[in-house]
């Protein structure tokens, strides 16, 4: 099996291409302002290189595309579901398999079934939709990341796990209804969860009768990073390491748009038939019949093939090497990063890049906007805009790399664009929220630059003064 070799070429050839175009700078300024300075509101056709997410944005393989023609679209008991179920069982070891239309549907169904107001869900780091689905049930999501994950400058190779002393203390004082171990820890830099941490969390969960679920969206990248960075697992296979993580848990929930290498879909998989029955009852009412869960048969087949392809060690090691080369390119331009790099993305430490911007001015979002204005690049803030009420967390900008989509030349352009911004970092201004929904505000918020906000406040104050004079 190959490891990360810097010059190792793509283990595939490209047979279809999509033209992309860089809009003129003046047009990008107009488009971003029209979108309320929210990159989720910018049309994809107006983006040159799209690193907003790796969720459903990768290129499917020829086998996945070919499977669409053999898919069985029967409403109940389709052959596509049988192939999907078998693949999930092989990869996870869980016997109960429940398809959903995407990861957040799996989160909703699980938490609606097991949570009540006042409960809490502990995690090494709940991501945005997971937290939102916990909180909509009146429960609390409590992040207990490793201390090293909170320090962007700490280069520890394995810092994606849960803070064990803090978890013990939480179990002693709170009504912990479930634990979600996110592999990799996307909310805190995409770092891998080590096997030892998985087993420690599992043992504490068993001792307290708390079910443990793996957020398996990037399970293969977690296993691959462990093979590269953890000497205790060297020589093992990706499949073996992944199975050991799943074996320590009671179940998993997954967005198959990530390490399922598909454009749509997700699932719940677990051991307990009674809980699975309750989840299926919810599924049938809200998503679809239990053998399709809101998905077409062609989606089920694409996921079944993707789950096998993602465990191809040549493909995965090329993937990790590409992200690593991207991170090294950014570092060569003195752009501050969380280090070492994640398996699916590079996280720029926007708080360090823009020391003049406080957390309340959303430095991670400021960098994301600057990347679009400078180079037509779309990225995602992971900081105080996405996770309000926690200004002590790292202020990050995530550059997520879609699978099998961009070449090293594309990513070198992104690194050069970031270097241009870093060279005039003091000129970058912060943002404030004009309007936003209460849940998942980063998706639909309208913002404005701080300079505009300050001018708006002066205009409003002048109007009030004039009105008082009249």
Which positions ≥6 away from 57 have C-beta within 8 Å? 50, 402, 405
To the nearest 10°, report the CA torsion of 400, 403, 409, 413. Answer: -20
Among 309, 339, 362, residue at a domain's last position: 309
| Residue 143: strand pairing partners | 123
Residue 141 lies in a domain: yes
| Residue 119: strand pairing partners | none
Cβ(251)–Cβ(268) below 8 Å: yes
Residue 192 lies in a domain: yes
Query: What total number of domains does the chain contain?
Result: 2
| Best CA proximity match to 317, nearest among 226, 188, 185, 191 | 226
The answer to whether residues 143 and 41 belong to one domain is no
Cβ(310)–Cβ(88) below 8 Å: no
Q: What is the CA radius of gyration of the chain?
A: 22
| Best CA proximity match to 160, nearest among 229, 87, 246, 91 | 229
Q: What are the pLDDT tens digits along the chain (470 aa)?
A: 344 445 678 999 999 999 999 999 999 999 999 999 999 999 999 999 999 999 999 999 999 999 999 999 999 999 999 999 999 999 999 999 999 999 999 999 999 999 999 999 999 999 999 999 999 999 999 999 999 999 988 999 999 999 999 999 999 999 999 999 999 999 999 999 999 999 999 999 999 999 999 999 999 999 999 999 999 998 999 999 999 999 999 999 999 999 999 999 999 999 999 999 999 999 999 999 999 999 999 999 999 999 999 999 999 999 999 999 999 999 999 999 999 999 999 999 999 999 999 999 999 999 999 999 999 999 999 999 999 987 778 999 999 999 999 999 999 999 999 999 999 999 999 999 999 999 999 999 999 999 755 544 544 554 455 555 55
The answer to whether residues 270 and 392 belong to one domain is no
Residue 55 lies in a domain: no
The answer to whether residues 150 and 283 belong to one domain is yes
The answer to whether residues 224 and 213 belong to one domain is yes
Residue 14 lies in a domain: no
The answer to whether residues 367 and 426 belong to one domain is yes
The answer to whether residues 170 and 204 belong to one domain is yes
Cβ(126)–Cβ(187) below 8 Å: yes
The answer to whether residues 145 and 294 belong to one domain is yes
The answer to whether residues 398 and 425 belong to one domain is yes
CATH number at residue 273: 3.40.640.10
Residue 128 lies in a domain: yes
The answer to whether residues 71 and 92 belong to one domain is yes
Give φ, ψ of 140 to 5 degrees. -115, 135
Question: What's the angle, vertex CA 450, arms to CA 445 and CA 455, rounded to 5?
Answer: 115
pLDDT at 2: 43
| Best CA proximity match to 41, nearest among 440, 444, 438, 441 | 444
| Helices 273-286, 103-114: inter-axial angle, 10-degree rounding | 120
Residue 16 lies in a domain: no
Cβ(230)–Cβ(161) below 8 Å: no
Residue 116 lies in a domain: yes
Euclidean distance between CA atoms 220 and 205, whole angstroms:
23
pTM of the model: 0.93
Q: Which residues of 38-59 are buried (b: 16+ CB within 10 A; e: fewer)?
A: bbeebeeebbbbbbbbbbbbbb
Residue 17, SS3? coil
CATH number at residue 411: 3.90.1150.10
Euclidean distance between CA atoms 302 and 262, whole angstroms:
6
pLDDT at 8: 74
Burial class for 438, CB neighbours closer than 10 Å (0-12, 13-18, 19+): exposed
Q: Domain of residue 352: give its range.
A: 25-47+312-450
How many angstroms separate the Cα of 465 from the Cα of each of 137, 262, 452, 453, 470? 46, 58, 20, 18, 9
The answer to whether residues 113 and 43 belong to one domain is no
Euclidean distance between CA atoms 285 and 288, whole angstroms:
7
> Which residue spans within 118-158 are E strands per DSSP?
120-123, 140-143
Residues marked active site are found at: 75, 127-128, 215, 217, 258, 442
Cβ(85)–Cβ(104) below 8 Å: no
Residue 460 lies in a domain: no
Among 256, 276, 309, residue at a domain's last position: 309
| Best CA proximity match to 78, nearest among 264, 289, 297 | 297
Residue 140, SS3? strand
The answer to whether residues 377 and 400 belong to one domain is yes
Among 281, 309, 337, residue at a domain's last position: 309
| Helices 164-173, 195-208: inter-axial angle, 10-degree rounding | 10
Give 68-77's long-range contacts (Cβ < 8 A, gap of 24+): 68/298, 68/301, 68/302, 70/301, 71/296, 71/297, 71/298, 71/300, 71/301, 72/297, 73/296, 73/297, 73/298, 74/297, 75/289, 75/292, 76/289, 76/291, 77/291
Euclidean distance between CA atoms 445 and 467, whole angstroms:
31
What six digits make up the tokens of 196? Answer: 């030892």
Euclidean distance between CA atoms 267 and 272, whole angstroms:
15
The answer to whether residues 182 and 201 belong to one domain is yes
């Amino acid at each position: 099996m190959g490891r990360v070799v810097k010059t190792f070429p793509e283990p595939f050839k490209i047979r279809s291409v999509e033209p992309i175009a860089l809009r003129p700078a003046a047009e990008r300024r107009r488009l971003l302002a029209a979108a309320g300075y929210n990159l989720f509101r910018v049309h994809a056709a107006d983006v040159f290189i799209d690193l907003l997410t790796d969720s459903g944005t990768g290129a499917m393989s020829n086998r996945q595309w070919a499977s669409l023609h053999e898919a069985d679209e029967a409403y109940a008991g389709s052959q596509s579901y049988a192939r999907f179920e078998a693949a999930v069982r092989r990869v996870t070891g869980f016997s109960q398999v429940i398809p959903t239309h995407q990861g957040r549907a799996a989160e909703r169904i699980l938490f609606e079934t097991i949570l009540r107001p006042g409960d809490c869900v502990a995690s090494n780091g709940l991501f945005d939709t997971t937290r939102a689905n916990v909180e909509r049930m009146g429960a609390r999501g409590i992040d207990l990341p490793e201390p090293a994950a909170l320090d962007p400058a700490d280069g520890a190779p394995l810092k994606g796990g849960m803070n064990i002393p803090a978890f013990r203390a939480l179990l002693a004082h709170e009504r912990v209804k479930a634990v979600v171990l996110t592999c990799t820890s996307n909310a805190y830099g995409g770092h891998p969860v080590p096997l030892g941490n998985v087993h420690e969390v599992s043992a504490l969960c068993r001792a307290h009768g708390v079910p443990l679920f793996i957020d398996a969206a990037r399970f293969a990248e977690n296993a691959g990073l462990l093979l590269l960075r953890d000497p205790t697992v060297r020589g093992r296979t990706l499949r073996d390491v992944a199975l050991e993580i799943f074996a320590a848990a009671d179940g998993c929930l997954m967005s198959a748009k990530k390490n399922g290498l598909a454009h749509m879909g997700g699932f719940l998989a677990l051991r307990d038939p009674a809980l699975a029955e309750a989840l299926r009852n919810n599924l049938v009412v809200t998503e679809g019949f239990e053998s399709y869960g809101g998905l077409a048969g062609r989606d089920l087949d694409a996921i079944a093939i993707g789950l096998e392809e993602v465990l191809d060690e040549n493909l995965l090691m090329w993937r990790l090497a590409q992200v690593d080369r991207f991170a090294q390119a950014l570092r060569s331009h003195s752009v501050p990063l969380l280090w070492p790099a994640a398996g699916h993305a590079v996280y720029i430490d926007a708080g360090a890049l823009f020391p003049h911007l406080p957390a309340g001015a959303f430095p991670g979002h400021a960098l994301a906007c600057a990347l679009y204005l400078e180079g037509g690049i779309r990225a995602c803030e992971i900081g105080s805009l996405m996770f309000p009420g926690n200004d002590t967390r790292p202020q990050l900008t995530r550059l997520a790399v879609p699978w099998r989509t961009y070449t090293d030349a594309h990513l070198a352009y992104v690194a050069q664009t970031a270097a241009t911004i870093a060279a005039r970092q003091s000129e970058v201004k912060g943002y404030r929220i004009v309007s936003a929904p209460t849940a998942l505000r980063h998706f639909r918020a309208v913002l404005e630059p701080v300079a505009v906000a300050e001018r708006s406040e002066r205009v409003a104050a002048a109007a009030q003064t004039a009105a008082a004079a009249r």
